[in-house]
C-alpha cells in the first residue's frame, strides 16, 4: 500500500459542499434501475451520505443501506443531515478493515477507487462482502479526459497537471474508469457492463458556476497538500484560483467530467 495515497485521499475538513450538492439523481443516475425495494446495500466512501440517502429512499423501509467512510467529520455531518431515514446507517470505517456481520445484495462506490493506490484490493474486499449473485457498481473518473470549453487560463491548466502528477505520484490511477473492466475480469467478476456516465455542465444551466467551480474547491482544499509536497508553489495555486474564478464567470462555456459506471455480479 502507498501511504501517500492513504494520506492524500483524506478529505480536508471545513467544506463538504461539493459532496453535499450530489444526489442519486444528479450524480449517480445510472444506478437507479438497479435499485429494488428491500435490498441490502453498502455504499463505500459515502462522504456525507448525500447519494446514500437517495439509495435509501429507493430501497424503501424494507431495505437497508449502510454507508461507510473513513472521514469522521463527513460521517458526523451525514448523521445530522439524514436522521430522518431509519433504513440508512452511516459508519466511520476504513473499507479495508470494515467487517460487517451480514453480507450485501449490492455494493456501490462512487468516486472513491480513484483515491486508492490499490483499487484491486478494494474490489476483492467488496467481492468478499457480497451475497451469492450480488451486484457491484463502481462509478469513477477518467481524469486525463476532462474537457473544458474554451480552454481555461494557463494557470489552471498548470494546476490541473500538477494535480494529476500529485495523484500519480501517490499511485492513484488518473484513468480509473477505463481500467475497471480489466480489473473486474482479473478478479473473476461476471456480467461486466460499462455504462457511460459523463457529467456535462453548460453555461446555460443554473448550477454551472457551482459545478465548474469544483476546480476552485480542489485548489482551495487539496491545493495546500500539493504545495506542501512540492507539486506547485503557493503563488501559482492562488493565481490559478483567481484566474479560474474569473474564467468560470465570464469565459467558460462548458465542462465535461468524464465518468463511467462499471457493474458486475459475483
Ligand atoms: C470524492 S469522495 C466521494 C464521496 C461520494 N461517494 C460521492 O460520490 O460524492 C471520496 C470519499 O472516499 C472516502 N475514502 C477514501 N478512502 C477510503 C477508505 N479507505 N475507506 C473508506 N472511505 C474512504 C473519502 O473520505 C471520501 O469521503
How far is Cα 199 from Cα 252, in angstroms, rounded to an integer?
16
Element (H, E) at 208: helix 208-212
Residue whose CA is at the smallest distance from ligand 1 atom 13: 45
Q: pLDDT at position 206, please?
A: 87
What is the arrangement of strands in the sheet containing 254-257, beginning at the earlier edge strand? 147-149, 254-257, 199-202
Task: Render pLDDT for 183-220 as a digit per residue (tens, 0 to 9).
Answer: 999 999 999 999 999 999 999 998 899 999 999 999 99
Residues present in the chain in total: 266
Q: Give the Å distance between the CA of 231 and the centre of ligand 1.
A: 23
Q: pLDDT at position 244, please?
A: 98
Tell me if 130 sits within 8 A of 191, measured CB to CB: no
Q: Best mutation site among 47, 97, 141 for ligand 1, i.e. most ligand atoms within 8 A of its Cβ?
A: 47
% pLDDT > 70, the chain:
96
Q: C-alpha grid cell for residue 150?
A: 474554451
Q: Give the Å distance between the CA of 228 and the centre of ligand 1.
A: 22
Rounded to an integer, the average pLDDT of 19-38 is 96
The set of protein residues with a Cβ atom below 6 angstroms from ligand 1 is 9, 11, 19, 22, 45-47, 51, 68-71, 74, 94-96, 110-112, 115
Longest Cα separation, the chain = 53
Query: Cα separations (Å) of 203 from 159, 212, 252?
Result: 22, 9, 7
**pLDDT exceeds cutoff 60 at 1:** no
Name the CATH superfamily, with its identifier, for domain 3-265: Vaccinia Virus protein VP39 (3.40.50.150)
Q: pLDDT at position 11, please?
A: 65
Rounded to an integer, the average pLDDT of 21-40 is 97
Q: pLDDT at position 2, please?
A: 59
Q: How confident is the model at residue 12 (pLDDT cuts 50, 70, 90)?
A: low
pTM of the model: 0.94
Q: Which atom of ligand 1 is nearest to the CA of 18?
A: 9
Q: How confident is the model at residue 8 (pLDDT cuts 50, 70, 90)?
A: low
Indicate the range of 7-21, 22-36, 96-110 predicted with least confidence: 7-21
Rounded to an integer, the average pLDDT of 239-246 is 98
Q: Give the Å distance between the CA of 255 and the centre of ligand 1.
A: 23
**Strands, E, within 121-215: which ranges?**
130-141, 147-149, 190-196, 199-202
How far is Cα 205 from Cα 95, in angstroms, rounded to an integer?
36
Task: Render pLDDT for 72-111 as a digit per residue (tens, 0 to 9).
Answer: 999 999 999 999 999 999 999 999 999 999 999 999 999 9
Q: Which of 40, 92, 43, 95 shows the shortest CA–CA distance to 67?
A: 43
Q: How confident is the model at residue 5 (pLDDT cuts 50, 70, 90)?
A: confident
Domain ranges of the chain: 3-265
Q: pLDDT at position 17, please?
A: 87
Q: Which of 38, 48, 39 shows the shortest CA–CA distance to 18?
A: 48
Task: Render pLDDT for 221-236 as a digit per residue (tens, 0 to 9).
Answer: 999 999 999 999 999 9
Q: C-alpha grid cell for residue 103?
A: 453480507
Amino acid at each position: 500500500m502507498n501511504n501517500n495515497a492513504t494520506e492524500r485521499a483524506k478529505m480536508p475538513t471545513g467544506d463538504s459542499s461539493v459532496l453535499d450538492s450530489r444526489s442519486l439523481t444528479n450524480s449517480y443516475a445510472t444506478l437507479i434501475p438497479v435499485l429494488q425495494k428491500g435490498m441490502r446495500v453498502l455504499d463505500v466512501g459515502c462522504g456525507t451520505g448525500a447519494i446514500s440517502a437517495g439509495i435509501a429512499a429507493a430501497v424503501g423501509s424494507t431495505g437497508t443501506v449502510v454507508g461507510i467512510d473513513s472521514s469522521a467529520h463527513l460521517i458526523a455531518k451525514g448523521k445530522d443531515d439524514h436522521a430522518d431515514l431509519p433504513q440508512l446507517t452511516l459508519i466511520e470505517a476504513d473499507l479495508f478493515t470494515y467487517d460487517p456481520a451480514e453480507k450485501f445484495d449490492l455494493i456501490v462506490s462512487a468516486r472513491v477507487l480513484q483515491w486508492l493506490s490499490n483499487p484491486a484490493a478494494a474490489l476483492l474486499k467488496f467481492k468478499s462482502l457480497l451475497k451469492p449473485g450480488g451486484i457491484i457498481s463502481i462509478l469513477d473518473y477518467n481524469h486525463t479526459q476532462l474537457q473544458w470549453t474554451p480552454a481555461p487560463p494557463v494557470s489552471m491548466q498548470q494546476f490541473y497537471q500538477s494535480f494529476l502528477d500529485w495523484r500519480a505520484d501517490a499511485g492513484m490511477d488518473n484513468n480509473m474508469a477505463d481500467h475497471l473492466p480489466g480489473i473486474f475480469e482479473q478478479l473473476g467478476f461476471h456480467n461486466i457492463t460499462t455504462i457511460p456516465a459523463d457529467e456535462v455542465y453548460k453555461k446555460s444551466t443554473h448550477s454551472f458556476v457551482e459545478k465548474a467551480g469544483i476546480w476552485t474547491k480542489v485548489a482551495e482544499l487539496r491545493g495546500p497538500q500539493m504545495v506542501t509536497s512540492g507539486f506547485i508553489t503557493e503563488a501559482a495555486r492562488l493565481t490559478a484560483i483567481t484566474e479560474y474564478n474569473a474564467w468560470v464567470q465570464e469565459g467558460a462555456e462548458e465542462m465535461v467530467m468524464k465518468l463511467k459506471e462499471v457493474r458486475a455480479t459475483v
